[in-house]
Amino acid sequence: MIATVLRVAGPLAAGLLLVGCTGDGAHPAQPPAPAPTTSQASVPTQAARFRIARRTSAGPILVTSLKGAKSGMTGKVWVWLPPQYRDPAYARTRFPVLMLYPGGSGAGYNYWTDPKVEPIQEEDMLLARQGRAHPFIMVMPIMQPSTREDTECSDIPGHVRIGTWLADDVPALVRASFHTLTSRNGWGTVGASSGAFCAVKMAAERSGTYTAAVSWGGYFTPDTTLSWSPRDRQANRPDLILQRTRPDLRLFLLAGGDPKIHADVVRIEALTKTLRPPTAVTTYIQPHGLHQTSDLKKLLPAILEFLTRNLAGPSSR
């Protein structure tokens, strides 16, 4: 991979390496959306299937149970709408979408829904007010049907079709329920640890849906206790999918730099060496960082700013 290294100013400069493949078609940052007004509009009627799961300092988080038309699987999906979404001034506006995948099994829960654990919604709300981030619709599905079925976001024979549920059914629900951008330029994925595997895999497999993917502390080959055939393992490796298809994706790969978790850095370096245009990758090794929630929290502004640079903003078109 032919790459260019850029110098970066600011608090993340020490350790930030921007690697852009030749032929990089990165999308320019969109003008920041106007600040929201105090008046609020209701959620569209087609989203009535959702209920309020909890109220947070950044607004309510909605939840529904989705039985997928393609997969036949049923699972929970949580959604956070930015304050602008309910502003009448944005009534004809479509918003960019982020799919957020959790660490751990993600069976029946998604920790991105709890701002006490990962306050990404509040961070987005504050950065959007400053013109530093788009107001994103954030979608947080479960990641596994049960703790006994660690299928790594994949369709594996003999198990429920979680891969199809995540790749097809959940996005279809979101498009039908909310005012979203229709182009792939307005859709991205974010994952932490095991969720990072899912974020990269979904974006690599469905590059017609997604333009950008963020991986924190991730890995790129299946790591499961289930008995997979060699063929299934090969078919569901994000690293091999990226090498084989060379999708037009913008990847942001982050990991802690503490020697205790050096394996996370090794994985990033190994993947980066195999990528070819038009795939482009930005890497960040957090000085002294560990594989802990407290380290991830510090990186949320950089993650949201990366996605804002690489995804389209709200649009009335």
Does the residue 155 lie in any domain?
A: yes
Residue 79 located in a structural domain: yes
Q: Is 286 within a domain?
A: yes
Cα 253 versus chain centre, distance: 12
| pLDDT at 49 (0 to 100) | 84
Does 317 map to a domain?
A: no
**pTM of the shown model:** 0.85
Predicted confidence at residue 236, as pLDDT, reads 85
Residue 47: the pLDDT is 43
Give me the residues of the chain with pLDDT under 70, please. 1-48, 225, 317
Any idea of the CA torsion for 119, 215, 210, 50, to the nearest 10 degrees?
-30
248 found inside a domain: yes
Residue 35 lies in a domain: no
User: Which domain range does residue 175 map to?
Assistant: 3-24+42-309
In a domain, 239, yes or no: yes
Q: How many domains is the chain partitioned into structurally?
A: 1
Helices 194-205 & 238-245 angle (0-180, nearest 10): 20
- Pairing relationship of beta strands 51-56 and 3-6 according to DSSP bridges: unpaired
Q: In this structure, what CATH number is given to the domain that contains residue 102?
A: 3.40.50.1820
34 in any annotated domain = no
